[in-house]
Amino acid sequence: MIIYGKNVVIEALKAKRPIYKLMIDHKMSDATVLKYLKDASIQIDKVDRGHLNNITNHAVHQGIVAEVEPYQYKKIEDITDISNGKFLILDSIEDPHNLGAIIRSADAMGLDAIIMSQKQQVPLNATVAKVSTGAIEYVPIVIVPQLFKGIALLKEAGVKIYGTDMKDAVSYQDASYNGSVAVILGNEGKGIRNSIKPLCDEMIMIPMKGHVQSLNVSVAAALIMQVLTQ
């Protein structure tokens, strides 16, 4: 797996993620980054910036790229015994920028885990890592073969499931988040799939006063997590 960007690579080093190869722009002059890399006692290859551009498809790599061990996903069994656990369930998120932003907010809010399906879901990749600014190293990500079955296992473990919808829903600020709770956020354009909705114990919504009756899913996630983790 390739990751890039100063914060992303430094957080990977802090989290002791195995790094197979680390490359920096031979003209890099950021003293703070260079000192951290030196203190980490890791071999560094100084290369031409054009080489980094090619590796990252001309992404904003800030002159530093690393080849690292792929992210290790958790299993649903790893989180079902968390007391008063607070979780986010993502149903078919497609945009890596949205997923990265959600992970960044999840770390800031102290969320216990994010649950995603193996299918119909953007994977953890370099873009997700970059947008998360390194938070990808700290937020447990649970992957389930089928979201339906994963939610069913959470319910069996006593986790209350909230869905998000604009119809027949209470304000997210009025819902009770006592005990173990998971909130489902749906696809950017379609929302939660109809096959998933029957698994929800209750539906919540974010009241809006403006003309556009929708929020970016990463913004909605941040608002909900702020209340969920209080």
Which is nearest to 91 in space by CA: 163, 160, 29, 153?
163
pLDDT at position 38 = 87
Lowest mean pLDDT among 7-21, 137-151, 184-198, 207-221: 207-221
Q: What is the pLDDT of residues 134-183, one digit of tens each?
A: 999 999 999 999 999 999 999 999 999 999 998 889 999 999 999 999 99
Q: What is the per-residue DSSP string for the chain? A: -EEESHHHHHHHHHTT--EEEEEEETT---HHHHHHHHHTT---EEE-HHHHHHHTTT---TTEEEEEPPP--B-GGGTTT-TT-EEEEESS---HHHHHHHHHHHHHHT--EEEEESSSS----HHHHHHTTTGGGTS-EEEES-HHHHHHHHHHTT-EEEEE-SSS-EETTTS---SSEEEEE-BTTTBS-TTTGGG-SEEEE----SSS----HHHHHHHHHHHHT-
Q: What is the pLDDT of residues 29-77, one digit of tens each?
A: 999 999 989 888 889 999 999 999 999 999 999 999 999 999 999 999 9
Which is nearest to 151 in space by CA: 89, 106, 82, 195?
89
pLDDT at position 211 = 78
Read off the pLDDT of each residue in 120-139 and give the average, rounded to a whole number.
Answer: 96
pLDDT at position 166 = 86
Q: Residue-wise over 37-71: b if at least 16 C-beta within 10 A, else e?
A: beeeeeebeeeeeeebeebbeebebbbbbbebeeb
pLDDT at position 105 = 99
Q: What is the pLDDT of residues 170-204, one digit of tens each?
A: 999 999 999 999 999 999 999 999 999 999 999 99
Q: Is the pLDDT of residue 213 over 90?
A: no
- Domain spans of the chain, in order of start: 2-68, 76-229
β-bridge mates for residue 144, sequence order: 117
Q: From CA 8, how far away is CA 138, in angstroms rounded?
A: 12
Where does 2-68 sit in CATH, by number? 3.30.1330.30
pLDDT at position 99 = 98
Question: Which pLDDT band holds residue 90 (cuts at 50, 70, 90)?
Answer: very high
pLDDT at position 212 = 78
- Greater confidence (214 vs 157) lies with 157
pLDDT at position 75 = 95
pLDDT at position 8 = 97
Where does 76-229 sit in CATH, by number? 3.40.1280.10
Q: Is the pLDDT of residue 80 over 90?
A: yes
Q: Is the pLDDT of residue 14 over 80?
A: yes
